[in-house]
Amino acid sequence: METNFLDEKKRARYYVKGSVMEVEEDRTHEFKGHRNIAVEEIPPWCVDIKDKNRKTRSAISRNICGFINSELGGTIYLGVLDNGEIEGIPLTLYQQDHVKLSLSNTLQRFRPPFPKHLYSINFVPCLDKKDIIFQHIAKSPSSSKSKSEAKNGNETNTKEGFVSGGWDWEVEQKEQIILPKMLQLKEDSLRRRPHILQTYKYCWCDDDSYGRNCHGHTSTSYVVEIIIKPPSPRDPEIRKYLIPSTELHIKPIFQAEDGSIYIRRQATLIRRSLNDVVTEAVEEVQLQYLPTLKKAEIEYRKLQSLVEAMEVKESLERMLLENKGESVNDHNDP
C-alpha cells in the first residue's frame, strides 16, 4: 500500500493498482476480489450444480465469522486478488452505501448479533501509477555549513535524482497527486432510497452505476477494508444475548447468518459443528477453573478429615461417659 505524504498533518491513504500488498494472507489478513458479503449474494453460477458445497466464490461473511471467533480479529481487503495484487473495485457513492448496509445487515443476522462498535469499514482510493507524479525538491543539508556556503548551491539542477552545483544538497522526493473527490449533494434524496439486500440480483445502485458508465462517467476504484475487532466476553452488548445465569467469562462463539461456525487458523477457515463447539467449551471451562477446583477439593478433604476427627472424638467421649456411668452403678449396688 502506498501513502500520500503531500499533507504531513493529515496523510491521505491510497492503493496503487497493479502493485502487490505488503502483507500476505495469514491469521489476521484476508484478500477478496469481490464484494458479496452475505451467502445470499453469491450468484448461482458460482455454485457447482452437483456439489453445492463447492463454490468458485465464497461469501465474505465466512471470513468475518472466522475472524470474530479467533482471538485476534482481522482485516478483509475487498479488491485484492488472492496473489496479493491490488485490483480495486469501482464503486459509486450509492454502491458504497449498499456495501455498508449489506455488512450491517449481515452482522445483525449473526447469532448473537455482532456489535457495531467492534467493526469498521474504510473505502481507500485505488489509483493508477500514471496518476502519481513525483517531484524532486532540493534542500540544504543538515550539516554544519555556513549560510554563505549554502547560498552557492541555490542554483541547482536535478537530473535523475542527482543535484549539481555547490555543495552536496539533499534531494527529497515528494508525491504530487490529486485524490478523487466524489461529487456529493447536500440534499441527495437517492441516498434515502432503500437498497435491495440478501440477493445476488442487481440493486438500483448497480443500475445507476451501469448508466453512468454508458455515458462515459467512470467510477473510482476502491480497496474496501473491513476491520474486525475481537469480541470480549465481558462486553455488555454481547452478554445481553447470553443466558442471564451465565457467570463464566469464556470466549463467545458466533454463528454466521446461515448458522455455520467458522474459526480462523493461519490463512484458512475451519468449519465447526455445534458438538465441536460444546466439547471445546467444556475443555476451556475445565482448563480455566481446574486450579480452583483442585484447591476446593483440597479444602474439602481437609474439612472432611476434620469432621471425621471430631466424630471420632465425640464417640470416644460418649464411650467414656457410658463407662463412667456403669462404674458408678456398680458401686451403688448392695
- Per-residue buried b or exposed e for 248-258, using 16+ beta carbons within 10 Å of the residue's own CB: eeeebbbbbbe
pLDDT for 257: 96
* Mean pLDDT, rounded, for 194-214: 95
169 contacts: CB under 8 Å, gap ≥ 6? 138, 139, 140, 141, 153, 156, 163
* Mean pLDDT, rounded, for 223-237: 93
pLDDT for 333: 57
Q: What tens digit of pLDDT does each residue of 31-64 get?
A: 999 999 999 999 988 877 776 667 788 999 999 9
Rounded to the nearest integer, the mean pLDDT of the chain is 81
Cell 493529515, located at residue: 10
pLDDT for 151: 43
307: cell is 469432621
Q: What tens digit of pLDDT does each residue of 153-173 get?
A: 444 444 444 333 334 444 455
pLDDT for 317: 82
Whether the per-residue pLDDT at 142 is higher than 70: the answer is no
| Ramachandran bin of 259, using left for φ above 0, alpha for ψ from -120 to 50, beta for the remaining angles | left
Which is it for the CA torsion 292, 294, 300, 305, positive or negative? negative
Query: How far is Cα 77 from Cα 81, in angstroms, rounded to an integer?
Result: 9
Cis peptide bond prior to 112, omega within 30° of 0: yes
63 contacts: CB under 8 Å, gap ≥ 6? 30, 32, 74, 76, 262, 264, 269
Query: How far is Cα 67 from Cα 228, in angstroms, rounded to an integer?
Result: 7
* Mean pLDDT, rounded, for 218-223: 93
pLDDT for 4: 42
Whether the per-residue pLDDT at 92 is higher than 90: the answer is yes
How many helices (DSSP H) and strands (DSSP E) are in the chain?
6, 13
Query: How far is Cα 122 from Cα 12, in angstroms, rounded to an integer?
Result: 12
Domain edges within the chain: 2-128+185-272, 134-176, 281-334
pLDDT for 245: 54
Query: How far is Cα 66 from Cα 81, in angstroms, rounded to an integer?
Result: 19
- Residues forming beta bridges with residue 78, ordered by sequence position: 32, 224
pLDDT for 252: 85
Query: How far is Cα 64 from Cα 261, in angstroms, rounded to an integer?
Result: 11
Residue type at 324 in one-letter notation: K
Whether the per-residue pLDDT at 266 is higher than 80: the answer is yes
pLDDT for 158: 41
Structural contact between residues 105 and 221, judged by C-beta atoms closer than 8 angstroms: no
- In this structure, how many other beta carbons lie within 10 angstroms of the beta carbon of residue 62? 18
* Mean pLDDT, rounded, for 197-214: 95
Query: How far is Cα 87 from Cα 197, in angstroms, rounded to an integer?
Result: 25
Q: What does the DSSP 8-state code read for residue 250?
A: P
Structural contact between residues 32 and 77, judged by C-beta atoms closer than 8 angstroms: yes
Whether the per-residue pLDDT at 20 is higher than 80: the answer is yes
Report the run of H or E that residue 84 belongs to, with start and end.
Answer: none
Q: What tens digit of pLDDT does each residue of 282-314 get?
A: 887 777 777 888 888 888 888 988 888 888 888
Query: How far is Cα 16 from Cα 131, in angstroms, rounded to an integer?
Result: 9
> Where does the pLDDT of residue 250 fall: very low under 50, low under 70, confident under 90, or very high at 90 and above?
confident
> Where does the pLDDT of residue 323 fall: very low under 50, low under 70, confident under 90, or very high at 90 and above?
confident
Q: What tens digit of pLDDT does each residue of 178-196 get?
A: 666 665 556 788 889 999 9
Structural contact between residues 72 and 27, judged by C-beta atoms closer than 8 angstroms: yes
> Where does the pLDDT of residue 2 fall: very low under 50, low under 70, confident under 90, or very high at 90 and above?
very low
Which residue in 171, 88, 176 sits closest to 132, CA to CA? 176
52 contacts: CB under 8 Å, gap ≥ 6? none
pLDDT for 139: 56
pLDDT for 209: 95
Ranges 41-50, 89-98, 143-152, most confident: 89-98
Residue type at 99 in one-letter notation: V
